[in-house]
Amino acid sequence: MKIRVLILIIITSITFFTNCSSDDNDSLETLNGTFNLTSVRGGNTPESVTTEFNTGDVIWTFDLGNNSLTVEYNIPFSGGINSGTYEIVLNEDSLIINDINQVQGLTSTGIITLSNNNLSIDFGLAADREIREFIRR
């Protein structure tokens, strides 16, 4: 009887451990690609203020192979991150953008939420910063 219980415990343990995997790398890999900025909430305005963007107005392209982000404004610049290519660093669920606004050494850090084709980057809404929301192109 003890052997049967032990075998059952071993089989159950093996099943649990082999079916568990970390999705961190998978979710970061899905960040690779092009996203359209859809809205910006917050900034130096109350959280309830939201600026909406049309498809193609502002495009962010993540190239994880080169650790880079290319930002393209197809409308007059409205603040935030200028058009250009930036070095990025990804750590679990955070994004660090280096040389923001083309100033050496200046960085911006945001928390990434990626669900299906929707991307949200919280640059510190609670600290008078903003949340930028995107949809995969």
Contacts of 110 (CB under 8 A, 6+ apart): 94, 95, 97, 121, 122, 123, 124, 132
Residue 105, pLDDT > 60, answer no
Percent of the chain with pLDDT over 90: 35
Q: For residue range 64-77, what is the model confidence (pLDDT) as tens digits? A: 999 999 999 999 87
- The pLDDT, as a whole number, for residue 82 is 80
Integer Cα distance of 113 and 131 in angstroms:
11
Encode 49-65: b = buried (16+ Cβ within 10 Å), e = exposed.
eebebeeebbbbebeee
pLDDT in tens, 75-93: 987 667 788 889 999 888 8
CATH of 23-136 among 2.40.128.280, 1.10.3720.10, 2.40.10.350, 3.40.50.300: 2.40.128.280
Q: Are 72 and 55 in contact (CB under 8 A)?
A: no
User: Which residue would you say has higher pLDDT here, 58 or 20?
Assistant: 58
Nearest CA to 39 out of 122, 106, 109, 100 is that of 122
Burial class, 69, CB count within 10 angstroms (exposed 0-12 / middle 13-18 / buried 19+): buried
